[in-house]
């Protein structure tokens, strides 16, 4: 758990106990390796760095709420369909129908929130595992997006030219290549860190994944909280879709299956436990950055591009093994301390 800076003495133990430590070390290792192999291929140039940081921002703003759900003991894979659904919503509303951009954005976010609400309602009212529920909504929403696109505009992709101010705010570039989404992501990281690690609600999220029955008995509104987390996840995904559409002036209704894997890999590499009850926002940020370096930064190094999937696969396995070790370390370290 990230401790408030005012009351923490930095010690080796407290750093080791911080579950983000593993994710950070993994990132540092991958970054240094890539920096060595990419030194002559501009890996460290602004262009190189911004390439993978831009990629990380999109994955990252989805991965953190996916991580919240994982900490709460649930999974959301419908993100792959929410992304194109929101992209098409904003593009059709503000592009094809020429309504103000804010209307399109609000419509897209509402679509996201609605899908999350449906996910949350089904998961909390039935005993169906969230993996299956969101797999179902993944396909349902993907199909709906395609057919509604044909119904409204008779094509599966369309363009959107946002006004200047919206372009600057949601899809511009700054500091030599960093997209607006990077700054939105940083802002969201701040809010998410507050939510999970400092606000009382964060405790409840951990409790959900730790022991749902006890959480309910402790008076925590487990159903409402879970529905809210599903809504947060799909709304954040919808926001990522909006940013992408404004950035690239275009939207496609094709489901983005890659995003599902990317977000889950980022969360697991970031140290969250698949079984729930454990994880940090900063860990997920480092997990996202690691994934992005391997997937996108590899083009700026002498490493064969085709190896990136292999590296990610190995990394994922190592991360899961490390999570388990770190979890043991965290509980054992505190146990041994009492013997002093």
Partner 1 sequence: MSEKSPVIELRNVDKSFGPIDVLHDISLKVSAGEVLCLLGDNGAGKSTLIKILAGVHQPTRGNILMDGEEIALNRPRDAQGRGIATVHQFGGTYPLMSIGRNFFMGVEPTKGFGPIRVFDRKKANQIAVEQVQSMGITRITDGDRLVGGLSGGERQSLAIARAVYFGARVLILDEPTAALGVKQAAHVLKIVNEAKRRGLAVIFITHQVMHAMAVGDHFAVLIRGSIAADFQKGEKSREDISDLMAGGESMAELEAKIEN
Q: What is the rounded CA–CA span in Å between residue 189 and residue 67?
A: 12
Cβ nearer to partner 1, comparing 5 with 175: 5
Minimal distance, residue 10 CB to partner 1, in Å: 14
Minimal distance, residue 24 CB to partner 1, in Å: 19
- Residue 178, strand partner residues: 174
Minimal distance, residue 7 CB to partner 1, in Å: 5
Minimal distance, residue 233 CB to partner 1, in Å: 21
Q: Quick one: tokens of 120?
A: 């949350």
Cβ nearer to partner 1, comparing 67 with 202: 202
Minimal distance, residue 194 CB to partner 1, in Å: 8
For residue 159, report the phi and psi dihedrals to the nearest 5 degrees.
Answer: -110, 165
Q: Where are the beta strands (DSSP E) in the chain?
A: 157-159, 173-174, 178-179, 250-252
For residue 251, report the phi and psi dihedrals to the nearest 5 degrees.
Answer: -135, 145
Q: How far is residue 114 CA from its own chain's centroid?
A: 19
Q: How many CB atoms lie within 10 A of CB 62?
A: 30
Minimal distance, residue 339 CB to partner 1, in Å: 9
Question: Which of 72, 137, 74 minimizes the C-alpha distance to 111?
Answer: 137
Q: What is the rounded CA–CA span in Å between residue 234 and residue 130?
A: 14
Q: What is the rounded CA–CA span in Å between residue 143 and residue 131?
A: 18
Question: Which of 332, 309, 285 minimizes the C-alpha distance to 60?
Answer: 285
Minimal distance, residue 323 CB to partner 1, in Å: 11
Cβ nearer to partner 1, comparing 206 with 230: 206
Provide the binding-site residues for partner 1, judged by CB under 8 A: 1, 3-4, 7, 17, 194, 198-200, 202-204, 206-207, 210-211, 213-220, 273, 277-278, 327, 330-335, 337-338
Cβ nearer to partner 1, comparing 125 with 305: 125
Cβ nearer to partner 1, comparing 179 with 226: 226
Cβ nearer to partner 1, comparing 49 with 196: 196
Cβ nearer to partner 1, comparing 62 with 220: 220
CB-based contact 56:63 (threshold 8 Å): no
End-to-end CA distance of the chain: 23
């Amino acid at each position: 758990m990230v401790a408030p800076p005012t009351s923490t003495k930095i010690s080796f133990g407290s750093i080791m106990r911080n579950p983000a430590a593993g994710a950070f070390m993994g990132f540092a290792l991958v970054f240094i390796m890539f920096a060595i192999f990419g030194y002559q291929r501009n890996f460290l140039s602004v262009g190189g760095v911004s390439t993978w940081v831009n990629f990380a921002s999109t994955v990252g703003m989805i991965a953190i709420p996916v991580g919240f759900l994982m900490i709460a003991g649930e999974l959301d894979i419908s993100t792959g369909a929410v992304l194109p659904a929101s992209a098409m919503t904003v593009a059709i509303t503000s592009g094809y129908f020429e309504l103000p951009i804010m209307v399109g954005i609000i419509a897209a976010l509402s679509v996201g929130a609605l899908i999350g609400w449906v996910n949350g309602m089904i998961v909390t009212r039935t005993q169906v595992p969230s993996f299956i529920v969101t797999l179902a909504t993944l396909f349902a929403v993907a199909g709906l997006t395609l057919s509604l696109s044909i119904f409204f505009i008779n094509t599966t992709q369309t363009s959107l030219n946002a006004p200047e101010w919206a372009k600057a705010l949601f899809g511009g570039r700054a500091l030599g290549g960093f997209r607006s989404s990077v700054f939105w992501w940083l802002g969201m990281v701040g809010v998410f860190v507050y939510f999970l690690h400092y606000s009382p609600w964060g405790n409840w999220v951990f409790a959900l994944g730790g022991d749902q029955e006890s959480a309910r008995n402790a008076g925590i509104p487990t159903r409402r909280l879970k529905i809210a987390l599903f809504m947060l996840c799909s709304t954040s995904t919808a926001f990522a879709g909006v940013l992408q559409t404004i950035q690239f002036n275009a939207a496609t209704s094709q489901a983005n299956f890659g995003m599902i894997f990317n977000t889950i890999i980022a969360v697991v590499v970031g140290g969250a436990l698949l079984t729930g009850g454990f994880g940090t926002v900063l860990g997920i940020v480092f997990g996202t950055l690691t994934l992005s370096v391997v997937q996108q930064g590899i083009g700026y190094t002498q490493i064969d591009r085709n190896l990136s999937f292999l590296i990610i696969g190995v990394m994922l396995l190592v991360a899961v093994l490390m999570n388990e070790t770190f979890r043991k370390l965290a509980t054992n370290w505190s146990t041994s301390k009492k013997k002093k």
